[in-house]
């Protein structure tokens, strides 16, 4: 039993797998497409915002760090 992952570990692994596909999507170039997929009809022009771009890059790095 100790060799099997617990419920929380299994849930974390499944969440990591679900998020791992975001690494290639979380880029400023894909922001308009991402916003459209989220249902925003008129997304703001955030790719030109340095703070937004930095946050998006950090999110992509964190997803990549999951290493799943």
Which pLDDT tens digit goes with each residue over 18-58?
777 776 777 777 877 878 888 888 877 776 788 888 887 88
28 with 47: CB under 8 angstroms? yes
Q: Is 31 exposed, middle or buried (0-12, 13-18, 19+ CB in 10 A)?
A: buried
pLDDT at 36: 83
Query: Residue 68 pLDDT > 60, yes or no?
Result: no
Task: Quickly state the pLDDT bin for 2 (edges 50, 70, 90).
Answer: low
Higher pLDDT, 1 or 50: 50
pLDDT at 40: 84
């Amino acid at each position: 039993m100790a060799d099997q992952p617990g419920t929380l570990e299994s849930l974390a692994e499944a969440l990591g797998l679900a998020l791992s596909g975001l690494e290639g999507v979380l880029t400023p170039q894909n922001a308009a497409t991402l916003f459209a997929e989220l249902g925003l009809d008129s997304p703001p022009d955030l790719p030109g915002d340095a703070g937004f771009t930095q946050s998006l890059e950090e999110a992509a790095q964190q997803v990549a760090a999951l290493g799943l």
